[in-house]
Amino acid sequence: MNPLLQHLVEITGHRDHARLEISVISALHQLGNVKEVRALEVVTIGEETFVRPKAWINDGALQSIEDPQHAEIPRLPLLAYPALAACIADKSAGREERSASGEYELWLPVWLQEKVVACLEIRNDQAFGQDTLNVIHGIFHVYRNYQSLLDYSERDALTGLFNRKTFDAEFSRPGHSPNTPGAHAATDEDSPRHWLAVVDIDHFKQVNDRFGHLYGDEVLILMANLLRASFRAQDRIFRFGGEEFVILLRSATLATARQIFNRFRQTVEHHDFPQVGRVTVSLGFVSTHEGSAVEILGHADQALYYAKEHGRNQVCHYHELISTGQLKKQTQDHAEVELF
């Protein structure tokens, strides 16, 4: 098969962004004969825009922020990327320039609904020839169009967070499986493992009734921004509908998970929501080390509603509630369970 066609088959054969980006930068590196390629994530939180690399090629090796060793790479303000900032300010489809170090740079932002959500950064020691630019732009257009299709099917239209359909697929991926071999017992508090949390906005119906659904929608959008800012790149955040969100927190001890979830709760409590004022959330969480997806969701849901029934604006751990007798285990027929 023609190498270009083979790469296009690889690019369009994936159903998640991480693999899509790795395929794209691999294709650009090989077919475009360029020195360095990076796929950048562009996120707007409140009034500020931040940028972070998601996938790149380093010394010929593919790297991704999905890898644990790169998980702590921070988001930097957009101003740290002046060429990309200029693209966004000019609403430009791309920008080519020479850096202070003498490298030739090509910046290709991905626009979705008049907002930049990603960017490809391509560097080379020599100026980009026309044939090279034609290949690069062709691959970029396939990437942009396919990413748009993935966003449409995977993300919630209002908040831009992943939707329930994506959660089902994500939870079944290796590393999220609740019955991963070697998983640690729920009582081993010092062992890092994965956690699932269900978040609910307290008294959200009153927000809609008092201020109207437009302000209610704004609260949901701002809540999504706070969630993005509070969790790491390898974590996953979903909107299940209404005012309910789900978080998959990867590789953390119980103490760290509790700290992270409480820090998010406090961030929300101290945030000033325009017109609405103060808003709080309740959160229930559980380890994903055992049980089916339905059982794990059900346990987190039980912890959440315990939090809501006992004062709201708090974080509750399911296994702790069970061990202290504050909550009793409920056995349910999986076929009859309907969450949220």
Residue 159 placed within a domain: no
Q: Which of 234, 299, 228, 289 lies closest to 264 in space, CA to CA?
A: 228
Q: What is the rounded CA–CA span in Å between residue 98 and residue 200?
A: 49
Q: Which of 59-73, 116-130, 316-330 has the lowest mean pLDDT?
A: 59-73
CA distance 227 to 236: 10
Overall domain count for the chain: 2
Strand partners, 193: 252
Helix (H, G, I), strand (E, B) or coil at 76: strand
Beta strands per DSSP E along the chain: 36-45, 48-58, 61-64, 76-77, 95-98, 104-112, 115-124, 193-201, 236-241, 244-252, 281-287, 315-317
Query: Among the listed ranges 40-44, 277-281, 307-311, 333-337, which one has the minimum average pLDDT value?
Result: 333-337
**Do residues 180 and 118 both lie within one domain?**
no
- Average pLDDT, stretch 187-216? 89
pLDDT value at position 10?
Answer: 59
Q: What's the start-to-end Cα distance of the chain, in Å?
A: 48
Q: What is the pLDDT of residues 19-30, one digit of tens each?
A: 777 778 888 887
Same domain, 139 and 255: no
Q: Is residue 243 flagged as an active site residue? A: yes
**Domain encompassing residue 100:** 3-154
The confidence score (pLDDT) of residue 272 equals 92
Model-level pTM?
0.70
Quote the pLDDT of residue 7: 53
Query: How far apart are alpha carbons 30 and 116 in whole angstroms?
Result: 26
Residues 177 and 205 in one domain: yes
Same domain, 134 and 260: no
Give yes or no: residues 67 and 85 share one domain: yes
Instruction: Pick the catalytic residue from 47, 218, 243, 320.
Output: 243
